[in-house]
Chains A and B, each alone.
Chain A
Amino acid sequence: MQLEQQNLLKREKMGLFKNINIDKLKSGLAKTRSAIFNRISEAVTGKVKLDEDVFHELEEILITSDMGVELSSEIIEDVKRKLVYESVRNEETIYKVMENSLTSILENSFTNVEYEPDYTNFKPYIIVVVGVNGAGKTTTVGKMAHNFYQAGRTVIIGAADTFRAAANEQLEIWAQRAKVSIVQKGSGADPSSVVYETVKKAIDEKVDVVIIDTAGRLHTKNNLMDELSKIQRVIKKLLDYAPNDIFLVVDGSTGQNAIQQAKAFSKSVNLTGLIITKLDGTAKGGIVFQIARELKLKIPYIGVGEGIDDLQNFDNSLFVKTLIGSN
């Protein structure tokens, strides 16, 4: 807890969070923290000897965080192995060992650098946002646009969801909120043509960054997945270095299906990042760990609310700490 706050303060001073709402991070993640903290204390306090029960309880904590059976038992095994080398096996050491174990999984995939588009080398910098229905794509696009705009960048949003009712209107409101421009076509238009026009306009007007919002689609629908590949191709035709980033948005309360989503989307397009939303709820987002093992991605942001500022950077160790509630 203290360490975490110190970290936060340090980061705050360093200006790393820029336009990102710090209070939300504290309050949002703290909610989940206390719940887990109580449970893990319950699991280990008063037990001098570490019997199987302790590990069962740890397994429960991991599984109820949506980490999956397989990974959870692997982590438990790992913790057991590492505990052999610890002379004192108490609550604190378990935390430490478990924390290390979890952090190392994330480090496999996610580097802990604050996300920023490489404006110097790529102009326009193209970001495409994809994901299943209702994950939070459009909202995230709005928040990101706001974030870039606040940082003094010019931004265009491309409204490539031409399918869902009022998708255009929704994104338009977000563009207004973020004070950025938007390219739209009528409902039912070919999404690729919207993408084409958006990127074209960005090139012509020397815009810094383009964010394309796409329609929600289940990863099992081949025709819709092909549509995404097509969008990627259209962008590449205009700018051979692009798209620079394709972010998969996953609802933080998603269970094991998230892994299927990540795999399928990364097959159709060149995913570069993962954005987990709705982490302001009580879901723990343990799916991140499984995805980290499958794919090499960055986590540019996490979503912690419906407001325009509710976007945060992802911090491996902070995430792990909040998940297992260690201090």
Chain B
Amino acid sequence: MLEDLSAKLELALKKVRGQGKITEKNISETLREIRRVLLDADVNFKVAKEFIEKVSVKALGQEVLVSITPGQLITKIIYDELTLLLGAKNSELEINPTGPTIILIVGLQGSGKTTFSGKLAGKMKQLNRKPLLVAADIYRPAAIEQLKQLGKSISVPVFSLEEKDARKISKEALLFARQNGNDTVIIDTAGRLHVDEVLMPEISDIKELVNPTETLFVVDSMTGQDAVNSAKAFHEKVNFTGIVLTKLDGDSRGGCALSIRAVVGEPIKFISNGEKLNAIENFYPDRLASRILGKGDVVSLVEKAQEVFDEKDSARLEEKLQKNKFDFEDFRDQIKMIKKMGSLSSIMAMVPGLNPAMMKDAKIDDKALVRIEAIIGSMTKEERKTPKVLNGSRRKRIAIGSGTSIQEVNRLIKQFQEMQTMIGRMKQKGFLNSVFNKKSFNFN
């Protein structure tokens, strides 16, 4: 159970404190990795490049918390900046205080506009508004029928005309809404390519005609590099005021959202994560940031480290270590700290670059920690402070008290002694100075 524990603990602590080999990686290496992560998540090439450059310049010269590596810190900074960028600007749906709220839904083919129109209408209804759906897609086979069926399922009226004139339909729908007391008008339009020379003018005409409160650009979260082009073109033509990210119930990373945010600067207002009409959610930038980075683990490690590492504690520990007075009390504190950060193995799993083979090798039994705590808990204060007094009978008492065996107690004490020796060695190597080189953790 306690086999090689101190070595493993040392390894884990080193990782946590950023003193292991992987922590020697410089930021540029991490940045290259982050660039790759962003590109794999479909963030546009140029956007990824500029984003990383901007953030790293801003981060330059920032000090690193004792417990993490510069690479982890920059990852956390990137995450924070990403969250900030994704979430900047109000993501609330604009409501017209004086007249009807008109929402124009636009986007490429198959992105999820019609479904989203239905979802938004349902949501509006729940908010005690009186929505009207407008079927302005006169091109796609059965598009009007699709909207009608969706409207019916949520008991929201759908306005349509026999005439194949999307401009006219949109205009007359406003009239209809006024006559029927609909305070929210949601216009579903046909999917169109941003290079379509007939349909792009149509959508900008509709926009002119209805003067919408919001124009929402609906985009499939699986979209790749081309998202910047379509978003830019749509933005130029209709000046959309918000983005809807759809199909997030899949495993796409949604990097196109960053691309679009970066090139058009409009906020993401909703996400759509299912085919059913209740699958609509407000947008949470932090969630999308973790999804894009896929680095949630590192980020939470850094956050936990921030929470847990108490400056006073480490100062005290440092002093002890310097004086080579590390005792069982400190040992227990260390374990507590580790436990606060999650299990030892989960911490190890969170450490980037720690290869699985290594993990296997350093298989740390979390149950072992509990037993160690129990053993230390059964010691008297004196024993904890002065482990030298731990003779045979004391050991036996501790074993019984902690529900472990005398062998386990013996092993722990042996490991502890080894650890002390190790600490002595580290001290000579100047390790301690770097570990306890207290610096503030400041992101801004």
| B88-112 residues at the A interface, CB under 8 angstroms | 108-112
What is the interface of chain A mostly: helix, strand, loop, or mixed? loop
**Contact between B40 and A69, CB atoms less than 8 A apart:** yes
> Could you give, for residues 38-81 of chain A, a 1 whenever the CB lies within 8 Å of some chain B CB and a 0 otherwise?
00000000000000000000001001111011000000000000
**Contact between B141 and A133, CB atoms less than 8 A apart:** no
**Contact between B195 and A281, CB atoms less than 8 A apart:** yes
- Minimum CB–CB distance for A28 against chain B, Å: 10
B139, B230, B275 pick with most chain A CB within 10 angstroms: B275
| A262-300 residues at the B interface, CB under 8 angstroms | 278, 280-284, 286-287
Nearest CB in chain A to that of B111: its residue: A134
A166→B195 CA distance, assembly (Å): 28
Nearest CB in chain B to that of A218: its residue: B250
> Could you give, for residues 140-173 of chain B, a 1 whenever the CB lies within 8 Å of some chain A CB and a 0 otherwise?
1111011111100100000000000000000000
A280 partner residues in chain B, CB cutoff 8 A: 193
**Contact between B108 and A281, CB atoms less than 8 A apart:** yes
Nearest CB in chain A to that of B150: its residue: A165
Nearest CB in chain B to that of A134: its residue: B110
A69 partner residues in chain B, CB cutoff 8 A: 36, 39-40
What is the interface of chain B mostly: helix, strand, loop, or mixed? loop
A238 within 8 A of B: no
B256 partner residues in chain A, CB cutoff 8 A: 255
- Minimum CB–CB distance for B68 against chain A, Å: 26
A166 partner residues in chain B, CB cutoff 8 A: 142-143, 145-146, 148-149
- Minimum CB–CB distance for B20 against chain A, Å: 27
Nearest CB in chain A to that of B219: its residue: A253
A256 within 8 A of B: yes
A306 within 8 A of B: yes
Contact of B141 among A134, A163, A169, A253 (CB under 8 A): A169
**Contact between B220 and A283, CB atoms less than 8 A apart:** no
**Contact between B139 and A218, CB atoms less than 8 A apart:** no
A121 within 8 A of B: no
A173 and B142 contact, Cβ closer than 8 Å, known pairs A255-B256, A278-B109, A281-B195? yes
B223 within 8 A of A: yes
A33 within 8 A of B: no
A132 and B250 contact, Cβ closer than 8 Å, known pairs A163-B275, A166-B146? yes
**Contact between B141 and A165, CB atoms less than 8 A apart:** no
- Minimum CB–CB distance for B214 against chain A, Å: 22
A173 and B193 contact, Cβ closer than 8 Å, known pairs A133-B112, A219-B250, A257-B222? no
**Contact between A65 and B225, CB atoms less than 8 A apart:** yes
**Contact between A255 and B42, CB atoms less than 8 A apart:** yes
The number of inter-chain residue pairs (CB within 8 angstroms) is 143
- Minimum CB–CB distance for A58 against chain B, Å: 12
B83 within 8 A of A: no
B46 partner residues in chain A, CB cutoff 8 A: 60, 64
A219 partner residues in chain B, CB cutoff 8 A: 250-251
A297→B220 CA distance, assembly (Å): 25
A170 and B146 contact, Cβ closer than 8 Å, known pairs A136-B110, A282-B226, A283-B226? yes
**Contact between A257 and B250, CB atoms less than 8 A apart:** yes
A132 and B247 contact, Cβ closer than 8 Å, known pairs A253-B108, A253-B223? yes
B244 within 8 A of A: no
A301 within 8 A of B: no
A44→B223 CA distance, assembly (Å): 29
**Contact between A68 and B40, CB atoms less than 8 A apart:** yes
**Contact between B42 and A256, CB atoms less than 8 A apart:** yes
> Could you give, for residues 241-258 of chain B, a 1 whenever the CB lies within 8 Å of some chain A CB and a 0 otherwise?
000000101111101100
A63 partner residues in chain B, CB cutoff 8 A: 39, 45, 225
A219, A221, A281, A286 pick with most chain B CB within 10 angstroms: A281
B114, B145, B250, B251 pick with most chain A CB within 10 angstroms: B250
A219→B251 CA distance, assembly (Å): 9
> Could you give, for residues 299-321 of chain B, a 1 whenever the CB lies within 8 Å of some chain A CB and a 0 otherwise?
00000000000000000000000
A31 partner residues in chain B, CB cutoff 8 A: 195
Contact of A218 among B41, B149, B247 (CB under 8 A): B247
A18 within 8 A of B: no
**Contact between B193 and A132, CB atoms less than 8 A apart:** no
- Minimum CB–CB distance for B272 against chain A, Å: 10
A257→B291 CA distance, assembly (Å): 13
B224 within 8 A of A: yes
B225 partner residues in chain A, CB cutoff 8 A: 63-66, 255, 283-284, 286
A174 partner residues in chain B, CB cutoff 8 A: 141
B67 partner residues in chain A, CB cutoff 8 A: none
A104 within 8 A of B: no
- Minimum CB–CB distance for B219 against chain A, Å: 10
**Contact between A132 and B226, CB atoms less than 8 A apart:** no
A255→B110 CA distance, assembly (Å): 15
- Minimum CB–CB distance for B223 against chain A, Å: 5
Nearest CB in chain A to that of B222: its residue: A257
| B102-131 residues at the A interface, CB under 8 angstroms | 108-112, 114, 118
A133 and B110 contact, Cβ closer than 8 Å, known pairs A63-B39, A63-B45, A218-B247? yes
Nearest CB in chain B to that of A65: its residue: B225
Nearest CB in chain B to that of A135: its residue: B110
| A1-35 residues at the B interface, CB under 8 angstroms | 31
- Minimum CB–CB distance for B190 against chain A, Å: 9
A254 and B36 contact, Cβ closer than 8 Å, known pairs A132-B247, A170-B146? no
A260 within 8 A of B: yes
**Contact between B247 and A254, CB atoms less than 8 A apart:** no
- Minimum CB–CB distance for B124 against chain A, Å: 19
B230 partner residues in chain A, CB cutoff 8 A: 253, 281-282
- Minimum CB–CB distance for B440 against chain A, Å: 35
A193 within 8 A of B: no
A172 partner residues in chain B, CB cutoff 8 A: 142
**Contact between A282 and B195, CB atoms less than 8 A apart:** yes
**Contact between B142 and A169, CB atoms less than 8 A apart:** yes
B114 partner residues in chain A, CB cutoff 8 A: 165
B438 within 8 A of A: no
A153 within 8 A of B: no
**Contact between B229 and A282, CB atoms less than 8 A apart:** yes
B69 within 8 A of A: no
A253 partner residues in chain B, CB cutoff 8 A: 108, 220, 223-224, 226-227, 230
| B272-303 residues at the A interface, CB under 8 angstroms | 275
A284 and B226 contact, Cβ closer than 8 Å, known pairs A31-B195, A63-B45, A256-B253? yes
Nearest CB in chain A to that of B49: its residue: A60
**Contact between A218 and B146, CB atoms less than 8 A apart:** no
B194 within 8 A of A: yes
**Residue contacts A-B, CB under 8 angstroms, 5 given:** A63-B45, A169-B145, A256-B41, A281-B108, A282-B195
Q: Name the 10 nearest CB pairs between A and B, nearest first.
A: A255-B224, A134-B110, A255-B42, A166-B146, A173-B141, A169-B142, A283-B226, A170-B142, A218-B250, A66-B224
Q: A165-B149, A282-B226 are in contact. List 15 more A-B contacts (CB 8 A).
A: A133-B110, A133-B247, A135-B110, A166-B149, A218-B247, A220-B251, A253-B224, A253-B230, A256-B41, A257-B250, A257-B251, A258-B224, A278-B108, A282-B230, A283-B225
